[in-house]
Amino acid sequence: MLILASKSPRRQEILRNAGIAFTVRAPQVEEVRSAGESPESYVRRLSWQKAAAVERAKGEVVLGADTVVVVEGIVLEKPVDVADAERMLGMLSGRTHEVLTGVCLLGRGLEVSDIATTRVRFHTLTAEEIAAYAASGEPADKAGAYAIQGLASKYIQGIDGCYFNVVGLPIALVYGHLRGAGGLTR
């Protein structure tokens, strides 16, 4: 049995749509970046901590994941309010940024820690577009203050890498690691 160490509805939907059965056991892990910690180390550490914080029975595999957006070396997590969402969207406007997701799988002999990176190009946004999107509420619980699969889809010029990584879970990467875990991918 696969255990998803996350309450994220997007991660749950991706797994469901891929036909991978799972149960949710969300841990309580503080998501705070350490001083000087690289974005890659940060998502790798958090995904590991999330997976390790969940109890698992024999035969279970726990999946932990964490996603951040990085633009010009600055890490953008979930906005704290509408003004913060506007600030983030202003930083993304007219630029290319990276979406990093750390993935950790623990159990059934698996101890996997991996990272997926996708580059995303945003159109240049007007102040009115930024304000309207931030006020829509959609950015509230999204790394980088946007949902590629939602209202922000019209702002995306293109991507290089895994689309599902931007949504919140690089499913092909996860599937590749799970394939040998004895029937977890069915």
Catalytic residue numbers?
66
CB 141 within 8 A of CB 97: no
User: CA-CA distance, 46 to 25, in Å (whole number)?
Assistant: 16
User: CA-CA distance, 132 to 118, in Å (whole number)?
Assistant: 26
How many helices (H) does the chain have, and how many strands (E)?
6, 7
Six token digits for residue 28: 């309580």
User: CA-CA distance, 55 to 45, in Å (whole number)?
Assistant: 18
User: CA-CA distance, 125 to 131, in Å (whole number)?
Assistant: 10
